[in-house]
Amino acid sequence: MQKFTDETVKGLTKETMTGFEAYLNSNLPKAESFHPHYETAISEMLLAGGKRFRPVLLLAVVRAHNSLLLDYAYAAAYAIELLHTYSLIHDDLPAMDDADLRRGHETLHIKYDEVTAILVGDALNTHAFEVLSESAFSDEIRVKLIRSLAKNGGLSGMVLGQAIDCHFENKPLSIEQIRILHINKTAKLIAASLEMGAIISGQQELAKELYDFGIKLGLLFQVQDDILDLTQSSEEAGKTTQNDGDKNSFVNLLGLEGTVQEADKLAEELKVQLNSFDKPLYNELSPILLKYLSRHK
């Protein structure tokens, strides 16, 4: 098995992510009007930072297999970040998780009001598809990208997962049902990020393999989040933690020790699959995934 190092992480991703942040800052949503804070609120959670995990996965695949398209791929990565940020804003609403902290900042319904948070989420959701529709790809590629993001972020993906999560609060699910919940709520958008990178770089055969890898990666991501929700403070996590008491989390069903074992199992399976990728893809993905495969430890 090839070795991951922190030095490799810095070397491979810093330039790409600096470029993405510059792109994001240059293309913040604009909506000039006499509203006192709408335009400011639209950009607020985008500028608050976050891990940018989904954009960097897409960019890593493009960089591995068609680096000449990297500058064009920033638009697709930005669209994913727009959709993901909308989901966080809505997830934090009083009707859902009722959280007051996200990305180290006050949530929008706390800083402004619930109406602002709902409408900003709506705006970022739809703007993601406007950005994709105007991206510098062929019509065929644009349609494939829009389809992937909509299918995995919408009614039979992330939104379905959120619906199951909210409806079955205080109603215990089986471990298999919890996996289905989180495959939809978390994993599918991560899988779409990898799939969209393959679509952009012309790797149609690789798209399915990367999508399946992304489902497992997204499931690990959620298992780890459940662990961190229990073991980290809100200040450490940058978001409201210890807020899953009534939720169908892995920790609530398996206990902390059982959930750590589940995370270890998924991480080992992902390492094996990662090592089966071609060298350019391995070289791009392994530095990014290093810290995520073991972040629950």
CATH number of 180's domain: 1.10.600.10
Average pLDDT value over all residues in the chain? 91
With 70 as the cut, is the pLDDT of residue 237 above it?
A: no
**Residue whose structure tokens are 């697709």:** 76
Which residues touch 80 (CB under 8 Å, ≥6 apart)?
A: 54, 55, 58, 128, 149, 189, 192, 193, 196
With 80 as the cut, is the pLDDT of residue 246 above it?
A: no
Q: Identify the CA nearest to 80 among candidates 181, 204, 187, 196.
A: 196
SS (H, E, C) 139-159: HHHHHHHHHHHHHHHCCCCHH
Lowest mean pLDDT among 60-64, 158-162, 232-236: 232-236
255 occurs within a structural domain: yes
With 50 as the cut, is the pLDDT of residue 1 above it?
A: no
- pTM metric for this prediction: 0.91
Which residues touch 93 (CB under 8 Å, ≥6 apart)?
A: 109, 114, 117, 118
Lowest mean pLDDT among 4-8, 31-35, 207-211: 4-8
With 60 as the cut, is the pLDDT of residue 80 above it?
A: yes
247 occurs within a structural domain: yes
pLDDT in tens, 190-228: 999 999 999 999 999 999 999 999 999 999 999 999 999
With 60 as the cut, is the pLDDT of residue 46 above it?
A: yes
56 occurs within a structural domain: yes
264 occurs within a structural domain: yes
115 occurs within a structural domain: yes
- The reported pLDDT for the residue numbered 49 is 87
Q: Do 222 and 198 contact (CB within 8 A), yes or no?
A: no
pLDDT in tens, 106-156: 999 999 999 999 999 999 999 999 999 999 999 999 999 999 999 999 999
Three-class secondary structure of residue 119 per DSSP: helix
With 90 as the cut, is the pLDDT of residue 231 above it?
A: no
- The reported pLDDT for the residue numbered 292 is 83
- The reported pLDDT for the residue numbered 4 is 32
1 occurs within a structural domain: no
251 occurs within a structural domain: yes
% residues pLDDT > 70 (the chain): 91
- What's the distance, Cα to Cα, between the start and end of the chain in Å? 20
Q: What residues make up the domain containing 205?
A: 6-293
With 60 as the cut, is the pLDDT of residue 12 above it?
A: no
Give the HSE-up count for residue 72: Cα atoms under 13 Å, Cβ half-sphere. 19
55 occurs within a structural domain: yes
Count structural domains, the chain. 1
